[in-house]
Amino acid sequence: MRTASLVLLVLGLTVVVPTAGLAGGGSGSGFSARVTNPWFPLAPGTTYTYVGVKDGKRSRDVVTVTRRTTTIAGAPCVVVSDRLFLAGHLEERTLDYYSQSASGDVWYFGEDTAELDRQVHVTSTEGTWRAGVDGARPGIFMPAHPRVGQTGQPEFYKGHAQDHFRVAAFLGPNALRTEEWTPLEPGVLDHKLYVRGVGDVLERTVKGGDELNELVSVRRST
C-alpha cells in the first residue's frame, strides 16, 4: 500500500508523538467514544497490522478497534485491542481506552495490559492503569490541531506510565512526525509517523534500543 512507501521515505527522519497539555483528572462531560480525529481515527471494525522487531525478535502487532465501549472517569471510551506476537508467539495483549473531546482532541484514559508465557499464562500486568484510580490521570494522545513544538503527556500513573511527546514536524499536509520518551526509561527515544486519514504508520526506537513497528495492512469491516 502507499502508506508503506511513505514510511520508507521517512525512516531516516526525526519523529515525535503528539499530545497536548496534560489535563488533571477530568470529567466525562463533552467526551465521546466516537473517535474521528483525522490524525488518529478509530473506526470500529478496523484492524491495523504492523511488523518489525522487538527484543531482537521478529514482531507482529495486530491492533483492532472493537465495537465495545466502556466508561472511565465519567468519559465514554472506545476499546482497542492490541496483540503483540514475537517470533510467532503471543507475548502481550492489551486493551487501550480512548475518548474524543468536543474540540476533537483524542484522550487516552488507560490500558489493561498482560504479558504472557508460552502457555499464554499471564506473567505480569505491569503498565496497567485507568484514569481516576490510584492517582492516575488521562491526557491528550493526539491534538485536534497539532502544532510543531507542541508537547504533552498522554498518560500519568506515577512509576508505571509516564509517556511524554513532542510534535516535531509536518511532512507535507498529510504526514506528521512525533517524538516520545518516558522518565521510566532514561536514554530511550522513540519516533513515530502519523498519516492523515490512517493514523500511526511507523514507530521506531532511535536511541537506547532497536524496536521497529511498521504498518503493512489496514482492514475495515462494515
| pLDDT tens readout for residues 175-204 | 999 999 999 999 999 999 999 999 999 999
Share above pLDDT 90 across residues of the chain, in percent, rounded to a whole number: 84
Average pLDDT, the chain: 88
| pLDDT tens readout for residues 134-181 | 999 999 999 999 999 999 999 999 999 999 999 999 998 999 999 999
Closest to 219 in 3D by CA, of 198, 202, 205, 203: 198
- By DSSP bridging, strand 122-124 and strand 106-116 are antiparallel
Instruction: List 139's β-bridge partners, or say none.
Output: 108
For residue 11, count other CB atoms closer than 10 A to its CB: 13
**3-class SS at 4?**
helix
Distance CA 18, CA 199 (A): 12
Cell 483524542 locates to 106
Q: What is the DSSP letter of 157?
A: B
State pTM to two decimals. 0.86
In CATH, what class is 2-220?
A: mainly beta
Torsion of CA 198, 3, 196, 63, to 10 degrees: 20
